[in-house]
Amino acid sequence: MENPFNDNYFMKKALQEAEIAFEKGEIPVGAVIVVDNKIIARTHNLTELLHDVTAHAEMQAITSAANFLGGKYLKGCTLYVTLEPCQMCAGALYWSQITKIVFGARDEQRGFMTMGTQLHPKTEVVSGVLADEASDLMVRFFASKRK
């Protein structure tokens, strides 16, 4: 039997979080952090609600996972996030020493790859997982804001 816990499975969970953000009027980015096929953090952008430019989905997930684990390092953990992390989030992910980052859509303007930000040398990065779904959600969100 095929393992149901794969990158697509967990990215769908992150997309559910992004949908919640969309419904709240937040930029629809969702994130989950997984360890041993168990979700230990699930969140989405909260910058509008918290009036905090640092309240990105990734930052919220890092804090939640660290609290769950009782430590600041996320070794053995995987972050699934619907949009390529920005430079700020990549910096926090660097310091967390997270093992793996899986993201959906590229952020051609503000993503860490565009900005040339380095991650921890031991962090594995996988991009493009359910990228179309993540990208479509962003397009719908910004189209709704222009109406």
Name the pLDDT band for 3 (thresholds 50, 70, 90): low
Q: Inter-axis angle of helices 57-69 and 87-96, to 10 degrees?
A: 10
CATH homologous superfamily for 7-130? Cytidine Deaminase, domain 2 (3.40.140.10)
Q: pLDDT at residue 1 above 60? A: no
Name the pLDDT band for 4 (thresholds 50, 70, 90): confident
89 marked among binding-site residues:
yes
Catalytic residue of the set 58, 108, 124, 133: 58
Give pLDDT tens digits for 43-70.
999 999 999 999 999 999 999 999 999 9
Cα 141 → chain centroid:
17
Give pLDDT tens digits for 90-146.
999 999 999 999 999 999 999 999 999 999 999 999 999 999 999 999 999 998 878
DSSP per position, 40-52? EEEEE--HHHHT-
Cα 139 → chain centroid:
17
Q: Where are the domains of the chain?
A: 7-130
Predicted local distance difference test score (pLDDT) of residue 2: 55
Q: pLDDT at residue 89 above 80? A: yes
Q: Is 19 a catalytic residue?
A: no
Predicted local distance difference test score (pLDDT) of residue 146: 80
Mean pLDDT of 73-82: 98
β-sheet bridge partners, residue 80 = 32, 102
77 marked among binding-site residues:
no
